[in-house]
Structure formats: C-alpha cells, structure tokens
Amino acid sequence: MQIHLIENADNFTKLRDKVWESGWWVLTEDEAKKLVGGQIYFHRKKSEPSFYGGSIRSFRIKQEDPHRGSVIFEFEYRDACRGIKADRCGWSLEKKIV
C-alpha cells in the first residue's frame, strides 16, 4: 500500500541517516498498520508531484497533547519517491491511500 499526504509545514524529524519521522496524521491504527512496508509520498498540493517520501518502516500513536491520537510514521527516504503524481480522485482530509 501507499499513502500520499499534503505536507506544507515541513514537519520532518531526522532520526538517523536517511530515516525520518513525519506526523501528526489523522488515520486509524488499522490503516497505519496496513501501510507499514509500503511507500509514503509528500506533496505540497494534490495537483503537484511528490517532493519527498520513502518506505514506511513503522508508526506510533502520539500519546500527549497537542495532536494526541494522531499517527507518526517512521520512514526511510528513497529518491524514487520524488516526482510521483497522484490522481486527483480519492483524496480525503489531505491524504490518499492507494
């Protein structure tokens, strides 16, 4: 599976070489579980190709405020995840799961 997300705040945290976190996404825990092992793509706009992304390694649920209950993905950056376009159909709440 893969997820396309609108990211305008550059909310990325570097954990180690090529491994990053991005959060606070509104998803169910079941949705997040299904995405582990898949690809994550970050876009500025739905109509623009991805500017960043990678392979989802894991996720966690934020336990404290603000953003309690949101999903934070850990992913490994991949060059191949840049420049990927997503069809305009199927977007919901700044995300599209394929």
* pLDDT > 70: percent of the chain: 100
Q: The pTM is what?
A: 0.95
**Alpha carbon of 23 to those of 28, 66, 70: distances in Å?**
13, 12, 7
3-state secondary structure of 29: helix
Strand order in the sheet with 95-97: 12-16, 19-25, 71-77, 52-61, 39-43, 2-6, 95-97
Per residue in 50-91, pLDDT tens?
Answer: 999 999 999 999 999 999 999 999 999 999 999 999 998 999
Report the chain's terminal Cα–Cα distance, integer Å. 6
